[in-house]
Amino acid sequence: MDKDPFTERVTPESIRATWRHLVATHDEVLGTPNYAIFLRTQFNSEASFAGPLAALRARERADPMFFAQHPYGWAFNSESYDFSVECAYQVRILDAAIGMWKALDQTPQAHLCGIVARQTLSSGLLRATPSVRHESGLTFVICPIGWNEFLAWIFAAFTADCGLARADEPGSTTDIEPSRGDEWRKMRIGPIGTARSIARSHWLHLLAAMIASEKCESEVLIPQAIGAILKEVPAFFDGIADLSLCHESVISRDMSYLAAEMALSHEVGHVLRGDHLPNTRADETLADLLAHEAFRSSWGWRSFCLRESGLSDVGGWLFGAQAFMWGMNAWGLIGAELVDAAPSLRARWRRALADDMTKRGAAAARRLDEYLRRSPQQPTPDDVRVMDLVYSKFALHIAELIRFIRAFDTSALEAAADIAALQRVT
């Protein structure tokens, strides 16, 4: 492949101008004039870019040939991003791209040039999963803030329910994190339901976020939607812990990172294939198989994530792939319950959407089985035991969450949805 003259000319300015054009029709909050500029100046210091930019330089040192074949000079400039988290996504996206490039004998891949990470502010059910958009020769892998927040809250609720909590909670006397080894031990022996009040406050946060309209700024909207739910169902005040604090454990953070990474790998799978929306079932299958391959062979940060888990290397990537599926299944199940619960939500979201999400989770599980059948590397019996254990607890946790949703009056959810519909950023 000759170097593509277009992607050679990409600059921070051309990326931001192209994104500004695309986002106007894609995210109503970021599409609001001057709003993104306001956010950028509010939340992004040069220091917040230091970690991800250093990680990018480490990738360049490890695989200089990839960077010689695929022009990514702009990726090393903080001006190329609206948010520093996009620079962190860029690292993960390039990890996946490098993994796929290695699987293709390190030959240059035109589709792997000009992939740009972007974050949108959608938190609702319709647009809060990652996607790919092509615009003016660039490829944007879009990660809505709602997707990563969903993963953080759902896994934090789960591990709190297993008795894991971070040392920096109110009342804690130490800021030393518990070791992963301690957490894995607790996860194995502790009963589910240990910190149900924390789990319930996290569930409420999740529901409010998923009901949110994409026309709203989540920071403003979600507390108001939670307030509406609680006003309609005051019984839920009982035993609810601090609503604003996400009690992440070390393991919940690992699970949400792994699931987010797998989701980005899947999107890079679509990019490598040259897929355009809407994707067919065959597109999804092949994107997933590429994502598994990239996920297994890319940079070794996962071993740090899973350190002290007792999982083998194969068990490690498999656990990441499972975390992605558990998150996606939870998303689909909660979405289906919400659509069933309130008529106005059903009208807004269309029944087919929720059905489709649940089916997507099941299809992804079949694709992982298929990948494993072909793979020369297999998990150990210990890996299988650990994953079965975590999964059985996660399934119990989600069953409780479904009961929690069913206990709400329709009016509570619709009151929250009304707030979502009315609130707009000005």
Residues that bind Zn ion (CB under 5 A): 284
What type of residue is 222? I
Beta carbon nearer to Zn ion, 217 or 284:
284
Residue of this chain nearest to Zn ion (CB atom): 284
Beta carbon nearer to Zn ion, 92 or 186:
92
Task: Check if the beta carbon of residue 413 is closer than 8 Å to that of residue 211.
Answer: yes
Beta carbon nearer to Zn ion, 27 or 284:
284
Q: Any idea of the CA torsion for 227, 328, 260, 315, to the nearest 10 degrees? A: 130
Pair of tokens at residue 161: 């329910």
Instruction: Classify 210 as helix, strand or coil.
Output: helix
Q: For the CB of residue 39, give the shortest distance to Zn ion in the complex, in Å.
A: 28
CA separation for the pair 120, 368 (Å, rounded): 28
Beta carbon nearer to Zn ion, 363 or 422:
363
Beta carbon nearer to Zn ion, 96 or 222:
96
Q: Which residue has the tokens 């996962």?
A: 302
Beta carbon nearer to Zn ion, 149 or 284:
284
Q: For the CB of residue 130, give the shortest distance to Zn ion in the complex, in Å.
A: 8
CA separation for the pair 345, 341 (Å, rounded): 8
The stretches of 5-162 forming alpha helices (DSSP H) are: 5-8, 12-26, 35-43, 46-62, 64-69, 84-103, 145-161
CA separation for the pair 414, 315 (Å, rounded): 42
Count of Cβ atoms closer than 10 Å to residue 20 Cβ: 15
